[in-house]
Amino acid sequence: MAEKKAAKAAGKRRPLRKRPAEPVGLAPADLLGRAPPELEKIAGSVESQGGAVLASYRDPVGGHWLFLVSLPIDRVEPTPYQRAPSKAHVEKIARVLEKVERFLDPIILSPSPEGRFWTPNGNHRLEALKKLNARTVVGLLVPEEEISH
């Protein structure tokens, strides 16, 4: 332990990973298109649960397909391993939503094994919407369930 502190104090750090000098990812026009047929079943599951697919597009960094969706709020739940939401934080978000009358920060969604949808990132926003008695939540649906883990 003392060796680690001494090395850190001496300024010995791991070298930073080199980032590419050239732009990476897709160009703006490359984000457009229609999702592959194997992902359309995900879109169908949104609609079968009373939701709507608002748009589909490719992620600008990795080119993976994403869906902008609206879902009935009762079809979305946090991943089972998330900590309990902070009441103070939920209340703060709810007050801001009431003030601006806009939900400007979509939550991340992924399909759950039970056929519903999990949010691995967005539980405080989800709880704030529930506090306001909202009926719908908007999110970015990542088709791969693994993203929740």
All domains of the chain, ordered by start, with CATH? Answer: 32-148 (3.90.1530.10)
Each of the 149 residues of the chain gets a pLDDT tens digit; together they read: 555 555 555 567 777 878 777 888 888 999 998 888 888 888 889 999 999 999 999 999 999 999 999 999 999 999 988 889 999 999 999 999 999 999 999 999 999 888 899 999 899 999 999 999 999 999 999 998 777 77
Q: What is the rounded distance in angstroms from the CA atom of residue 29 to the CA atom of residue 42?
A: 24
pLDDT of the residue at 43: 84
pLDDT of the residue at 6: 55
pLDDT of the residue at 9: 57
Q: How many CB atoms lie within 10 A of CB 127?
A: 20
E strand or H helix at 141: strand 136-141
Q: What is the rounded distance in angstroms from the CA atom of residue 61 to the CA atom of residue 66?
A: 12
pTM > 0.85 = no
| Amino acid, single-letter form, for residue 71 | L
